[in-house]
Structure 1
Amino acid sequence: MQARTVFITGASRGIGAALARGLAADGHRVALAARDGDALVELAAETGGLAVPLDVTDGAALPAAVAAAEAALGPIEVLINNAGVSGSAPLARTDDALWARTLAVNLEAPFRLCRAVVPGMVERGFGRVIFIASNAGLTGYAYTSAYCASKHGVIGLCRALAVELARSGVTVNAICPGFVDTPMAQAAVDTIARTTGRDPAQARQALERLSPQRRLIEPAEVVHAVRSLLPEAARGINGHALALDGGQTLY
């Protein structure tokens, strides 16, 4: 596969870090964007990538981050919108701050990054835009109205851009994992344990039982799904929201 310049948000841990390691190992040039400066610098040193300190909610900082990545590594050919936050609360206790923060990180930032990066892809006649969404964008979960709304929005954005860019050489797709074995899933385990009185093992099992496979998704599975979208031979995969959840959305 041809080496590409890849820009990954939320790259310092979890799925983002797995993507950084996996795609760098494949020979791609990786720009790693995240707020966590120390972890980001360490990961960049490990992978040979470029650390791009960035708060994705700072709209004014996005063009400069893109410009820095392109100056160092070349034009961005693959944009992976991975940064995300989650929070849970009943509707009556979902305050404006939780709602605004969730949509700012999960939906507004990917929109602005696409706006900054995609025109160059179109001009060059090649690009891959990949959203790391969630199966929460394909269904609904109680106590996560802000998160579900943000991920449904991401999938809508993905599909709209896929149609808009269909003749440009740029494809736009979303990967929709279930619970992935990352710090974000551990935070969900901790919340279940705290609110239900279960021990951590029981709380983890509660998440695992959501999947017909009775397990969490591994970060490496997300990396594999992303890899499959990168080759020229994948150009017909466009506007797809791939459920990566062991069949959870089927029942």
Structure 2
Amino acid sequence: MSGKVAIVTGGGSGIGEAIVLRLAAEGCKVALFDINPEASAAVAEKSKAAGATGSVVPYMTDITDLDAVEASVAKVEDELGPIWMLVNNAGWDKPAPFLTTGPDLWQKIISLNLLGPINLHSAVCKRMVERKGGRVVNVASDAGRVGTSNEAVYSACKGGTIAFTKSMARELARGNVLVNAVCPGPTDTPAMAAVVGTGPEAEKWKESMAKGIPLRRMAQPDDYPGMIAFLGSDDASYITGQAISISGGLTMS
């Protein structure tokens, strides 16, 4: 991975931050796409302080805006070089019973979780195909495989991401562009804390969740970057169109 250029969306916190730090440690030149410049700068500084052999360069980008995505991707190629890897990690949800929600919330969830990654595929994959090589990893969710109460639209987006991954893997195989999905299970991140809160009640909820997981713990952001780095490496040169669950055994297939 040394010297290769990778885009990671939503890299300012949580799973995305862990992915950025790992790819930089592997020697990648990481373009961090996020709408929070302060968080992005902090991740870049953290990578530098850790002595990563690669680099982290923030690009403030709204992934729901195709024109903005095209501009940022062109800038990355101009400044860092040809993009080898795309990690579509950015996402968002606001859990609630579906019948209590409305179109404004649905559209926001769809724009961030489904249309955003589609925009990135459009801007990046055409460049990869021209060069006859590249890797895409879409961070989906086990919610897209089994569904989740109070996250119906989010689950639909992640199910769509898995189907889109497989379709793109078929379309791009002749161009030597490999497309896979990683499906996290319940993960202890700042995004989860924003939903369930903090304190004794939140900890009790997380303990209850962990009891249903065979490994008896919730995932941490660092549980995912190893697989994602592997999928970007030469060792994964014969893997495409797969949806790999990383959920402590919560879902098995």
The number of residues matched between the two structures is: 246
Unaligned 5+ residue runs, structure 1?
none
Cα offsets for 1:167-189 (capped at 9, x unmatched): 21110000001012211222343
Pair 1:18-2:18 in alignment:
yes
Give the 5 Å matches for 1:28-177: 28-47=28-47, 48-177=55-184
CA contact (8 A) 1:134 1:177 kept: yes
1:136 positional shift:
0.5
2:204 equivalent in structure 1: 202
- Contact 1:172/1:238, CA 8 A, preserved across alignment: yes
Contact 2:16 2:89 in 1 (8 A): yes
- CA deviation after TM superposition for structure 1 residue 42, in Å: 2.4
Counting aligned pairs with the same residue, the percent is 37
Partner of 2:228: 226
TM-score (norm 2): 0.92
SS of 2:197's partner is helix
- Correspondence for 2:240 among 223, 238, 241: 238
Q: CA deviation at 1:26?
A: 0.9
Deviation at 1:2, TM superposition (A): 4.3
Residues 189 and 207, structure 1, Cα contact 8 Å, conserved in 2: no
> How far off is 1:243 after superposition?
0.5
Matched, 1:250 2:252: yes
Q: CA deviation at 1:209?
A: 2.6
Query: Which one-letter code corresponds to 2:98 in the other structure?
Result: L
Separation in structure 2 between the aligned mates of residue 213 and residue 184 of structure 1, nearest angstrom: 22
Partner of 2:116, secondary structure, is helix
| 8 Å Cα contact 2:178-2:241 kept in structure 1 | yes
**How far apart in 2 are the matches of 1:248 and 1:188?**
21
TM-score by length of 1: 0.93
1:166 shift after superposition? 1.4
Deviation per CA, 1:152-171: give whole Å up to 9, x if none.
01001100000111121110
Give the Cα–Cα distance (whole angstroms) in 1 for the partners of residues 140 and 252 of structure 2: 17
Question: How far off its partner does 1:3 sit?
Answer: 3.0
Unaligned 5+ runs, structure 2: 48-54
Cα 1:45–1:69 shift into 2, 3 Å: farther
Q: 1:181 aligns with which of 174, 177, 188?
A: 188
Report if the CA contact (8 A) 2:128-2:177 is conserved. Answer: yes
- Secondary structure in 2 aligned to 1:248? coil
Hey, what's the Cα distance between the residues in 2 that align with 1:209 and 1:58?
40
Q: Distance in 1 between matches of 2:56 and 2:235?
A: 26
